[in-house]
């Protein structure tokens, strides 16, 4: 999932393997990518996505990363976790 988040952090859309529950969950939550189960779905996904859709997916992914994985957010969550010890 790190590669997906890094991809989104620079505003690029993603196409992930549907067998990965983590990656598909991120794509659903962030609306920043598509997922495929086989080669035909992968090929169809690549041909279906227009530049406009790619840009929108990339923007959505970037916003998802900013909201959930920015350093400020990570620091806040980390401090909250260790504050409870």
pLDDT tens, residue order, the chain (85 aa): 899 999 999 999 999 999 999 999 999 999 999 999 999 999 999 998 999 999 999 999 999 999 999 989 989 999 999 987 7
Distance CA 38, CA 21 (A): 15
Domain boundaries, position 40: 2-83
pLDDT of residue 82: 94
pLDDT of residue 85: 75
Domain count, the chain: 1
Distance CA 21, CA 52 (A): 27
């Amino acid at each position: 999932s790190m590669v997906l988040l890094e991809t989104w952090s620079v505003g690029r859309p993603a196409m992930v393997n549907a067998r990965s529950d983590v990656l598909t969950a991120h794509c659903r939550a962030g609306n920043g990518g598509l997922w495929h189960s086989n080669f035909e779905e992968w090929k169809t996904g690549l041909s279906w996505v227009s530049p406009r859709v790619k840009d929108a997916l990339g923007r959505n992914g970037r916003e998802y990363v900013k909201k959930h994985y920015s350093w400020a957010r990570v620091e806040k969550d980390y401090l909250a976790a260790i504050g409870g010890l």
